[in-house]
């Protein structure tokens, strides 16, 4: 199932390789962090995007699930001697399991009702994070101590900030490949049928419960991975990063960027993390970004159902066709 007309995966790999080589070289301190966190949010956005584009379901919990992944990673880092990779893997799996639990309401609900349930879960996570904060090396189950800042281990391969950015870009690529691999195989066909209608899926022998659960699990896995990576980047996490409103904003930006393609997902994460940073740099209130995003969302909903990515791709294929016409 080709996602985009332009041999999109080749372009994607090329672009990722370029970012992998260049970004860590050209970016300085603060921006290195911003792009690392962009990579982390790309993973979460990818989960929200494929659930929306391929199954037609809305999940507004992705950023909250990132928080859960971050929490588990920090907790394991401070209380065990396991290497970063192991903590990250456990966090991703743990988040995937919660993601699957989220699928339970999805089995009975559609559309707005499902969106509201996932939003309530995001709200619940927000309350938990605000009440208990993130582990920083303190004692007890919650692992929070005042003025603690225990060391956060990083992957053996990526001790420096530059190497860590590359590590994150690599995991984003793996995340996209994982989704694409699903889409081209049995689960992708089952999801496409579920999106058409549940009756169509059942009439094709699809176990709807299993494949919905699977989709939410995969989406949760990606969010958990993103959260764990963010924890590794910053060493400390703050509850305000994982508010329910952030989940809603990220989802809205996925629509703006274009949920159906990897390009749209990357654009969403860039808008989410980089745009506010840029505005800050220019001395403009970063909250103005929200106004801009709102306008962009209206634009996407009204005139560009495939998002900015769809418009770019449409433009490129028109150019290509014109070139071919001249040749």
Partner 1 sequence: MIRLENLTVRFGGLLALDAVSVEFTAPVSGIIGPNGAGKTTTMNVLSGFLDSKGGRVDVEGTDLLSLSAHARTRWGLRRSFQREQIAEDLSVRDNILAMTDHSRASRADKRADLERAIEFAGISDILAKPGAGLNTYERRLTDLARCVVGQPRLIMLDEPAGGLTRDEAAHLGDLILGINDLTSAKVLVIDHDVDLIERICTETLVLDFGKRIDFGPTRSILDNPAVRAAYLGFETGAAADA
**Chain contacts with partner 1 (rule: CB under 8 A):** 1, 54, 186, 189-190, 192-193, 195-197, 199-208
Task: Identify which of residues 117 and 206 has a Cβ nearer to partner 1 in the complex.
Answer: 206
Min CB(302)–partner 1 separation in Å: 21
Cβ-contact 56, 99 below 8 angstroms: no
Task: Identify which of residues 128 and 208 has a Cβ nearer to partner 1 in the complex.
Answer: 208
CA distance 74 to 141: 12
Task: Identify which of residues 110 and 186 has a Cβ nearer to partner 1 in the complex.
Answer: 186
Task: Identify which of residues 2 and 124 has a Cβ nearer to partner 1 in the complex.
Answer: 2
Task: Identify which of residues 33 and 189 has a Cβ nearer to partner 1 in the complex.
Answer: 189
Which pair of tokens denotes residue 196? 């058409």
Min CB(201)–partner 1 separation in Å: 8
How far is the CA of 164 from the CAs of 159, 265, 313, in angstroms? 6, 21, 31
Burial of 197 (0-12, 13-18, 19+ CB in 10 A): exposed
Min CB(37)–partner 1 separation in Å: 31
Of residues 76, 98, 20, 41, the one with CA closest to residue 225: 41
Min CB(196)–partner 1 separation in Å: 5
Min CB(192)–partner 1 separation in Å: 4
Q: At what angle do helices 208-234 and 84-108 cross, to 10 degrees?
A: 140
Which pair of tokens denotes residue 284? 């403009």
Of residues 50, 20, 47, 49, the one with CA closest to residue 36: 20
Min CB(184)–partner 1 separation in Å: 9
Left, alpha or beta for 235 (phi > 0: left; psi -120 to 50: alpha)?
left
Task: Identify which of residues 149 and 199 has a Cβ nearer to partner 1 in the complex.
Answer: 199
Apex 320 CA angle, 314 and 324, nearest 5 = 145
């Amino acid at each position: 199932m080709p996602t985009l007309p332009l041999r999109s995966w080749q372009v994607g790999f090329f672009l990722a390789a370029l970012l992998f080589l260049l970004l860590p070289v050209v970016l300085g301190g603060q921006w290195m962090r911003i792009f690392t966190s962009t990579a982390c949010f790309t993973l979460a956005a990818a989960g929200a995007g494929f659930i929306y584009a391929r199954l037609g379901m809305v999940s507004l919990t992705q950023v909250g699930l990132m928080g859960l992944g971050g929490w588990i990673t920090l907790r394991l880092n401070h209380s065990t001697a396991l290497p970063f990779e192991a903590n990250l893997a456990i966090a991703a799996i743990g988040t995937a399991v919660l993601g699957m639990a989220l699928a339970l309401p999805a089995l009975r609900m559609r559309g707005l009702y499902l969106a509201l349930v996932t939003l309530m879960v995001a709200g619940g996570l927000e309350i938990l994070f605000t009440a208990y904060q993130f582990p920083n090396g303190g004692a007890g189950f919650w692992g929070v101590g005042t003025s603690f800042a225990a060391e956060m281990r990083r992957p053996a391969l990526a001790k420096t900030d530059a190497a860590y950015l590359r590590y994150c870009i690599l995991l984003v690529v793996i995340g996209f490949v994982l989704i694409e691999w699903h889409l081209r195989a049995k689960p992708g066909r089952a999801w496409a049928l579920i999106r058409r209608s549940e009756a169509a899926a059942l009439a094709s022998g699809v176990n709807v419960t299993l494949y919905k659960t699977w989709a939410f699990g995969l989406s949760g896995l990606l969010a958990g991975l993103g959260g764990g990576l963010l924890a590794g980047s910053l060493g400390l996490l703050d509850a305000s990063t994982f508010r329910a409103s952030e989940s809603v904003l990220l989802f809205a930006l996925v629509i703006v960027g274009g949920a159906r393609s990897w390009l749209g997902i990357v654009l969403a994460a860039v808008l989410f993390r980089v745009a506010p940073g840029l505005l800050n740099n220019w001395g403009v209130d970063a909250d103005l970004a929200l106004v801009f995003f709102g306008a962009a969302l209206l634009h996407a909903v009204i005139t560009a159902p495939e998002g900015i990515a769809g418009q770019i791709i449409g433009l490129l294929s028109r150019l290509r066709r014109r070139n071919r016409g001249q040749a």
